[in-house]
Amino acid sequence: MSTSGTTEPVNLFDADLARDPFEGFSRLREQAPMVRGSFPGLGSPVWLVTRYDDVKTVLGDRRFVNNPASVPGADVGNIREALIEARGIPPEYAVYLLDSILDSDGDDHLRLRRLVSRAFTARRVAELRPRVEEIAEDLLDRLPGHAVDGAADLIEHFAYPLPITVICELVGIPEEDRPRWREWGKGLVSLEPGAMAEPLRHMVTYIHELIARRRAEPAGDLLTGLIRVHDEDGDRLTDTELVTMVLTLVLAGHETTAHLIGNGTAALLTHPDQLAALRADPGLLPPAVHELMRWCGPVQVTRFRYAAEDVEIGGMTVRRGEPVMAVLVSANYDPRRFEDPDRLDIAREPDGHKEVHVGFGHGLHYCLGAALARQEGEVALGALLRRYPRLELAVAPEDLDRQFFPVSWRLAHLPVRLGTPNQAG
């Protein structure tokens, strides 16, 4: 059986691929179930798994692990470690990016997940909804004041502040400190050499200081609960894991949601039939958020997985220890699973509780905060369209400023004209 894909590995930093990953990865999907991909400066290629059923297999099959140390009997290099080193991050700080809940497997992953999963249950998320709605309405009240020459940046003043406020309140980061996290977060996605090191150092230092403050002054937040677990039983949560958990929750807890709101708003404003349908029936918000996550979700490709043994995928073989990335965007556009996948259809899945796409992943590492992200998307889009019924783009769609970041789809800015607002309520 075949063990090779395209002749030349696909450069995942290729500008054309970043400009249109939907068409680019879909073309690769039709070439073969798996193709080789590469990162500049990284010697070994990785497998890119592109088809819907195969992507679900990789994400749900425990023969694929996130930590290369989990591959038995093999000395497997950590590709993320090499990439992080290439970005100029010192080893003493790299550990906070390499040893997170996202990089753990088996019992370690379950141990860490159980420590925070109660904060993201359906019941807890439902309890948070009134507060999410309150934050959204407040941001929308202030949106006209941010307009320059009649245009307001929806990313800067709505899509980002909403989820970062929610996750910071949940974790326990004081309001006055949140703007710093926004700036640090920007640095972490910069492609400039060495740009990640400084914001990461600030984040880690800040978390250590906040832990000391919470020990002295406990509160009813998630951080206080994690500190209690750490202090009572260090085997359940180590010092490094405590810091890394806070870092992961805050970053993962707002980045994806912010760009879901931004991408989703841009998609609706460029598809007037879908926008009209949603305005006419707000009950379509749950399936609309699912469809937007499928059609223009911000996360295009997963983290690296490693085959713990030889595994057959689509008639091709991944050898033990070989790295694999599941391509979510090509899976979500796979005509084998989605009829007319290029078409945006907010009523594609009428049951708003049914999740067919893989925008939030699948399997053991399925996004912990997916329910909260969906709720924030529903609240944000619903409130925005209700409050500003004449909302429109302030630039032509082709002039929208996309933030170049490989394997991600995100807007740097989303300038909109608000029109006459409706009152809150």
Instruction: Give the pLDDT confidence score for residue 1 in this predicted structure.
Output: 36
Tokens (6 digits) for 239: 């010092």
Residue 417 β-bridge partners: 392
Distance CA 154, CA 376 (A): 15
- Is residue 237 pLDDT above 70, yes or no? yes
pLDDT range class, residue 424, cuts 50, 70, 90: low
In the chain, % of residues over pLDDT 70: 96
How sure is the predictor about 351, in pLDDT bands with cuts at 50, 70 and 90?
Answer: confident
Instruction: Report pLDDT for 299.
Output: 93
Q: pTM for the full model?
A: 0.93
| pLDDT reported for residue 305 | 94
Determine the pLDDT at residue 7.
Answer: 66
Closest C-alpha among 69, 119, 72, 71 to residue 98:
69
Give the chain as a 3 state SS string. Answer: CCCCCCCCCEECCCHHHHHCHHHHHHHHHHHCCEEEEECCCCCCCEEEECCHHHHHHHHHCCCEECCHHHCCCCCCCCHHHHHHHHCCCCHHHHHHHHCCHHHCCHHHHHHHHHHHHHHHCHHHHHHHHHHHHHHHHHHHHHHHHHCECCEEEHHHHHHCHHHHHHHHHHHCCCHHHHHHHHHHHHHHCCCCCCCCHHHHHHHHHHHHHHHHHHHHCCCCCHHHHHHHHHHHCCCCCCHHHHHHHHHHHHHHCCHHHHHHHHHHHHHHHCCHHHHHHHHHCHHHHHHHHHHHHHHHCCECECCCEEECCCEEECCEEECCCCEEEEEHHHHHCCCCCCCCCCCCCCCCCCCCCCCCCCCCCCHHHCCCCHHHHHHHHHHHHHHHHHHCCCCEECCCHHHCCECCCCCECCECCCEEECCCCCCCC
CA atoms within 13 A on the CB side of 280: 8
pLDDT tens column, 36-69: 998 876 667 899 999 999 999 999 999 999 998 8
Phi-psi category of 43—alpha, beta or left, where left has phi over 0 and alpha has psi -120 to 50? alpha
pLDDT exceeds 80 at position 4: no
Over residues 100-120, the mean pLDDT reads: 91
Q: What is the pLDDT of residues 135-146, one digit of tens each?
A: 999 999 999 999
What pLDDT, on the 0 to 100 scale, is given for residue 44? 78
Indicate if the alpha-carbon torsion angle 355, 406, 304, 53 is positive or negative: positive
Interval 378-382 mean pLDDT: 98
Write down the pLDDT at residue 2.
38
Strands 10-11 and 311-313: unpaired
For the cut 60, the answer to whether the pLDDT of residue 356 exceeds it is: yes
pLDDT beyond 50 at 343: yes
Q: Over the stretch 197-224, which tens digit does the pLDDT of each residue have?
A: 899 999 999 999 999 999 999 999 999 9
Q: Tell me the C-alpha to C-alpha distance, in Å, between residue 109 and each of 4, 68, 194, 225, 327.
A: 32, 14, 30, 18, 22
Backbone dihedral angles phi then psi of residue 44, each to the nearest 5 degrees = -85, 140
Structure tokens at 78: 């950590």
- CA-to-CA distance for 342 and 338, rounded, in angstroms? 9
Does pLDDT of 286 surpass 50? yes
362-371 pLDDT, tens digit per residue, is 999 999 999 9
Please, what is the average pLDDT of the chain? 91
Taken in order 118, 254, 134, 284, the sign of the CA dihedral is negative
pLDDT at 89: 85
pLDDT band at residue 329 using 50, 70 and 90 as cut-offs? very high
What is the predicted pLDDT for the residue at 6?
A: 44
Pairing label, strands 64-65, 305-307: antiparallel
Which tokens is 164 given? Answer: 């970062």
Reported as a single tens digit per residue, the pLDDT across 6-47 is 468 999 888 888 889 999 999 999 999 999 998 876 667 899
